[in-house]
Structure 1
């Protein structure tokens, strides 16, 4: 999602491509057993892969040919040992490539160019704000919500090495680079066990402390004078959210005690950050009447953050108050010396408060429905008669009836924990402020009743119904849910009980839209178009009811999960779509990829702010789709959906994914605390399968179906109707549509069908492979025609080169994984348990490298 200067390609060649070859050669000289031979043999295997696929060979044939011609192995175990060493070697090559890209980030990306705040600053310098624009900007913000979705395969120790290696590479410290490569060679890339939800939270808090705290603070301090709407004292324009410890949807290991523990850890972490800054200030603020104030603040922060012996710092003012007093004395008695240092810390406190990042609680709607049913039964009410009631009567019933329940009444742990969680939220608000936890998200929300059920449960768990300081956020994910979303919200807006709740929440309603599950449900084009149209209709309808609607996008890393060039989507929204806030999830690998270092975090945050402000101030209605253009896109989306569903509903589709891809082994990887699918049913179904393993599995076999399937056929239909020139005009006019197509090109360029070509002749799965391959070819051809390009990603040469280099590094890894899958299919319950386990481990290890190597591929 980068914007490049003209010299970016040259910098990429010099700073990354050439240096990768140079430093990669250092691996050959590392003093480890057999590593020299491993490195040399790996380069030979890479040639075998490239030539073999070009000649129509499959993965098993390539590996067998390599072993036969390049080794004298006399056992399958020796081959396995060598393949495992290849995997370990490639993993470290990928780390080196990551570190090189991080080290060169500010030279590859135009950090003062289009999309940055300096660029925005210039655009706004002579702008005459209208009253409406001023009001809009005063309330505009970007909310980045960190999630613990399992797409980050690097353990913390390896992430630390990447950071140190990047710094050494920036300064060409050859000796240090050599030492770090040696450390890398000895450092395990595997977690010994699955992390707990709390451990996941701790690992992400590291990014808050070491990246976001400094980056957001410096952005706010630097631009608040020239762009007053960015002054955090009035309104923090950048806010951090947090899902680890709060996200219960399908994660059976999150508990109420986890939620509080994470909130407490976030509080400790931010106090430690403040303490470190105060300690630095103390070294400069040695003046009379100031030294005692700063010393007391330092002492209080230390005792509360590190020793936990006092609890005197309860609110932001307990920190800002002493700092403002210091500022006043500096101004009146010390010529303003070091006043800018004090201002920067004050800005940080306004940005992060006492909570650092707000915790979202998320639970699936059926849990609330089932819990209320159990509560009614315990209170002597008939569930049968309740079920027969119309929806409005059910709503009035659960709000009006006095229903009593306590967590210890239920044997079902989910029921007791749900009530306990609602009590815990109130304690978190009391201890760390309302902003620490004030949103409750309902997954798979399908009705107004689902929302009111949560409000009723807050009342049952001890909250005063008129004092529920929580935003209740419905999450609409499937195509059907997106279509019904306006109807659901209209019903809510007209309910007197919910209108009263919204009034207490300043008539602001947040609605979450799920890109990942939407794509899994309806394919790439239809999902994105329906989300766009849902936003449009929900914006219009909310405005009619006097409600400020905010959209919270559940985005992943790759285009198939709402990723790609995300900032361009926000810059291209229809003028009628509410864009008062940009809210999105940053998940797993996306965090370390796009926000893992200060340079990338700052660049990507600035891109989002610029996109939101630009859309609010400079977007005009001429960019809106006409009715004819909408009709054309909708007809494409319908054909795309029909094509995608024909594939997804094939009776062999799930088995194809299970046998051809590593899908069924995804849950064996110790990367996340939650299971790969919802529910406890053993048989795999598309409905229960989570979007992350769904998309990741397609990526690992280099087919990337969720990122393009159906699009080629849809464009072809437009060509056949003689409407291709109209479509090209839309592509040229609409940044939204063009970005959608560009992101699909990214999915296509990461697709490599020869990897699985042997499946083309499989008696059961051959037809599915052939259909995917045909759609890949058709989509590639039609997108090139649409963009008038000669190659995919022609307008993103640096992104393209990065992908191509990464794919070249990973092709032996993908080949080894396919080899393992092929061997397991051949065994098929043959009883060779030890050998079968080895191949399973090999498949999982390859998954780590492929996901890490692709950056944002899951």
Structure 2
């Protein structure tokens, strides 16, 4: 049996699922909208599928056939545009909704099929170990003969954080996400259809029809922009519904796999989930001290509720009588203390519970957690000026997670001594792991702010307090450092209460005061780092050190974020300067000589293009690894990755293995952003798979044996490889910046050929899309930059400049092509980069993109010139990649992904055509407009049409995002 036939057989259940869901959707559309919409959908679907088939045939046809196929393509394009243009607005909107809903169903089916294939893989003894799995990792460790002591030492140094962000790229509403989970459960039940009775099968179909009816009648577009509280609750949804169980389950699986070959190895809690949601203040005026406190307080409430529920279940399980079991003296003493401190509750438990010591102890713990939950450890609101003190804790409440952990271990030790190994190593151990992971705050919160905000606050403070009359912001770097040095050496506090400060400066000071109070109340691990966006120099770091000193914080990690190409090149020198500074070096001592460094994938890519960004990130990490080793400072790199390839996205396991040697060292942080949260953490089994990929990649990259690393993980780059990438990067940078930043007409083309202006009306995040009010590309955030190009099917940020650079490199010396092929096969960095390029080029569609430019750009000469330049660069990139990788088509070496993209494209195309037509009509009327129920009553007919067109455009944006599985 051929590999292709075997793969098709494996994917047959997926195709069947899609047919079942699509048929149910079709019936739902007919029930609620009649046959006009359904017929329009079917006509467009058939025409777009045939158009794709013709395009593929054209590439392979003989000359005598090409004219006929081209005529058919032209006829199909005319037919499609005729259907789209002639549809009335209501029919157009419902047709858009149909294709959008279809993609939500397909995405759900593909997600579940991943789970199905993983289970089938594990059940088949003939299958190889799944790449990136924990099982494969343990086999790797065993194969390379790592002994117990070496492995334990490696595990003890592991520190992995997956950090959820609220960046505005999640176009899918929570209502749709929860319905998708319901459909996943139904698909799982359908896999056991042969075990269903006829009545059960009928109920199953009715339940499916019902949920798809609800999905069809649920608005995919948010009518109201989410507030920070909405984003906080969305983040908590993933923590509460998925992560709380999935993360400890991952640890349990790892411990089980290690048991046979490494029975004496202890797995510490090294993988945690963090969050920016409620703490990321950079460019978001709605995030402040209150949102920070709200996020942690809500998270605390949810996690304590979980603990109490688990303790209750555990207490019901542990019914051992004192007549038939024994407890340790330590547990007996603890029980006596509980009864003395909670006499009323002891009486409430009754005499029977007193005869069941384990149940009694767990019940007392449940009661103490109830008091802990009821008493928030800090005031609900406070100001940096108020100096509000904490209320006294009730005597029975836990003051910290460590106290709860101590009690759990007390019970566990007694159970083990009593021979109750199953419970002690089972559900009790799971709860203990949860408390170690989530403590009393669920996910540690990061705080981020822009460097310019700190400089402005320092400048105002110096002037208001009379320390310096000149404007600090006008000082050169040497003078800034001198001033900051004096401030840090001065034992006095500059920011005394009563100062008349601007709201911006008070905001900065209030944030640091809140951080101090939160860490005192929730524990220092509740907020472990402060991130400085757009760090350019050492003073940017030491300004934050000054604010920490002002409020009495001396061990908060100060994390510079390097985002531009130039900053990536200078980051090591800036850190070297920091390490040489006695004041910062002393602060670093308080942080256990660990320095976190964040690298920005998104902004560096927007600044210099994908190839230069990727190469400069690689080199920066390599230099940071060398600096860490030379200065004996544990540098932990924080990867600011986005979801799309143009923002550093792509398969995470391959990305970690592609890091330079000695740059991981067991310590890594990674952002999980936007639509990737629902994609990667919306289902328990998928979440576990994504987390195990991170663990496997980090452990393999951190093996202390350098010989193993270079032979099996990531070989050291040869000098000729480095030279080749340097040349390619310089060429690609020039090409990219020539179009994006040096062509004065490019901004006009970009604004008209993409829906960048309209994206801002899609209510997917609380943060504005631009840092400032200007129209320059520099002012635009990386997320809408990538999002808009993805919508117009150019996907330009993910590949532009690469093809010409490779073409020139090969033309200069034909021997460079075999060298590039060798590098692709043997250098994980280049392999990961080129495989990501294949994926993003496959999602691009120059035929559709040309329609955007030709229809929407008013200046036809401008449209033709730039679109032709982009088309030519796309073709150069495609040809260069095929020459290096081999094969007849992109992704021939990744057939599952290739099939998924090919399956989706014909269904994305109608949405693109509708978007083009509706954008043209909307812009002709004056652009986007939304009406609330009050203003709609008095609106003119034209205003109502504008509002309806705006809604239609936003629907297409949502649908295309679901179809290509990327936003920003």
TM-score, normalising length: structure 1 = 0.93
Give the direction of change, closer, same or farther, for the CA distance of 1:543–1:591 in structure 2 (3 Å limit). Answer: same
CA deviations 1:444-476 (Å, max 9, x no partner) are: 00001100000101222x21xxx5120000000
The corresponding residue for 1:443 is 533
Structure 2: give runs of 5+ residues left out of the alignment. Answer: 56-69, 123-128, 191-203, 321-355, 377-392, 929-939
Matched, 1:187 2:209: no
Determine the structure 2 residue equivalent to 1:689: 780
Q: What displacement does 1:542 show? A: 2.7
**Relative to 1, partners in 2 of residues 1:576 and 1:299: Cα closer, same or farther, differing over 3 Å?**
closer
Aligned residue number for residue 343 of structure 2: none
Q: State the 1:207 CA deviation.
A: 0.6
For residues 534-683 of structure 1, the aligned pairs below 5 Å read 534-617=620-703, 618-620=708-710, 623-649=715-741, 650-679=743-772, 681=773, 683=774
Q: What residue in structure 1 maps to residue 916 of structure 2?
A: 818
Give the aligned partner of residue 46 of structure 1: 45
User: Structure 1 residues 368-377 or 625-634, which shifts more?
Assistant: 625-634
Q: Alpha carbons of 1:35 and 1:411: their partners in 2 closer, same or farther (altered >3 Å)?
A: farther
- TM-superposed deviation, 1:721: 1.6
Q: 2:441 aligned with 1:355, yes or no?
A: yes
Q: Which has the larger radius of gyration?
A: 2
SS of equivalent residue, structure 1 residue 241:
strand
1:292 partnered with 2:376 = no
**What aligned pairs does 1:96-135 form with structure 2 within 5 A after superposition?**
96-109=105-118, 110=121, 113-125=130-142, 127-129=145-147, 134-135=152-153
* Alignment counterpart, residue 504 of structure 1, candidates 579, 590, 594: 590
Quickly say closer, same or farther: Cα 1:28–1:636, change in 2 above 3 A.
same
Residues 743-797 of structure 1 deviation map (CA, whole Å, 9 limit, x = unaligned): 0111100011111324358222321111111111111111011001211111211
1-structure distance, mates of 2:710, 2:5: 32
Q: Is the 8 A contact 2:170 2:674 kept in 1?
A: yes
Whole-angstrom distance in 2 between the partners of 1:7 and 1:145: 40
Q: Does 1:456 align with 2:546?
A: yes
**Per-residue deviation at 1:579?**
3.2
Equivalent-residue separation in structure 2 for 1:379 and 1:220 (angstroms): 53
Equivalent of residue 787 in structure 1, options 870, 880, 885: 885
Alignment of 1:103-502 (within 5 A): 103-109=112-118, 110=121, 113-125=130-142, 127-129=145-147, 134-172=152-190, 173-224=204-255, 227=258, 235-287=268-320, 288-305=356-373, 312-333=397-418, 335-339=420-424, 340-384=426-470, 387=475, 390-401=479-490, 402=492, 404-405=494-495, 409-410=499-500, 412-460=502-550, 462-463=551-552, 467-502=553-588
Would the alpha carbon gap of residues 828 and 57 (structure 1) be closer, same or farther in structure 2, given more than 3 Å must change?
Answer: farther
Equivalent-residue separation in structure 2 for 1:784 and 1:817 (angstroms)? 31
Partners of 1:424 and 1:511 in 2: CA distance: 23
Q: Structure 1 residues 483-492 or 181-190, which shifts more?
A: 181-190
Bigger mean CA offset, 574-583 vs 130-139: 130-139
Q: Distance in 1 between matches of 2:467 and 2:257?
A: 62
Cα pair 2:84 2:914 within 8 Å, conserved: no
Shift of 1:553: 0.4
**What does residue 341 of structure 2 align with?**
none
8 Å CA contact retained: 2:135, 2:257: no
Deviation of 1:815 after TM superposition, in Å, equals 1.2
Q: Indicate if the aligned counterparts of 1:407 and 1:416 stay in contact, CA closer than 8 A.
A: no
Structure 1: which 5+ residue stretches go unaligned?
none
1:356-385 Cα shifts (integer Å, max 9, x gaps) = 111000000000000000000011133538
Q: How far apart, in 1, do the equivalents of 2:923 and 2:270 lie?
A: 53
Would you say the 8 A contact 2:161–2:274 is kept in 1?
yes
Residue 249 to residue 690, structure 1, CA distance change in 2 (3 Å)? same
Quote the offset at 1:524 in angstroms.
0.5
Which residue pairs with 1:28 in the alignment?
A: 26
CA RMSD of aligned residues (A): 2.7
Q: Deviation per CA, 1:162-187, whole angstroms, max 9, x where unpaired? A: 00111011111333212211121222
Task: Please tell me whether residue 707 in structure 1 is matched to residue 798 in structure 2.
Answer: yes
Distance 1:643 1:609 in 2: 38
1:130 and 1:298 map into 2 onto residues whose CA distance is 38
- Residue in 2 that maps onto 1:799: 897
CA distance in 1, matches of 2:812, 2:19: 50
Q: Is the 8 A contact 1:272 1:306 kept in 2?
A: no
Count residues with an aligned counterpart. 840
C-alpha contact 1:483 1:534 (8 A) present in aligned 2:
yes
Deviation larger for 641-650 or 104-113: 104-113
Distance in 2 (alpha carbons) for counterparts of 1:294 and 1:454: 44
* TM-score between the two structures when normalised by the length of structure 2: 0.83
Contact 1:438 1:470 in 2 (8 A): yes
Aligned mates of 1:780, 1:659 — CA distance in 2: 26
After TM superposition, give the deviation of residue 301 of structure 1 in Å: 2.7
Alignment of 1:838-857 (within 5 A): 838-857=948-967
CA contact (8 A) 1:58 1:757 kept: no
Question: Secondary structure in 2 aligned to 1:244?
Answer: coil
For each residue in 1:322-378, what CA deviation from the matched residue of structure 2 results, as whole angstroms up to 9, or x when unmatched?
A: 322322332333543522211111112112222211100000000000000000001
Distance 1:803 1:406, change over 3 A: farther
For 2:835, which of 721, 726, 742 is the aligned residue? Answer: 742
Query: Which residue of structure 1 aligns with residue 874 of structure 2?
Result: 776
Deviation at 1:131, TM superposition (A): 6.6
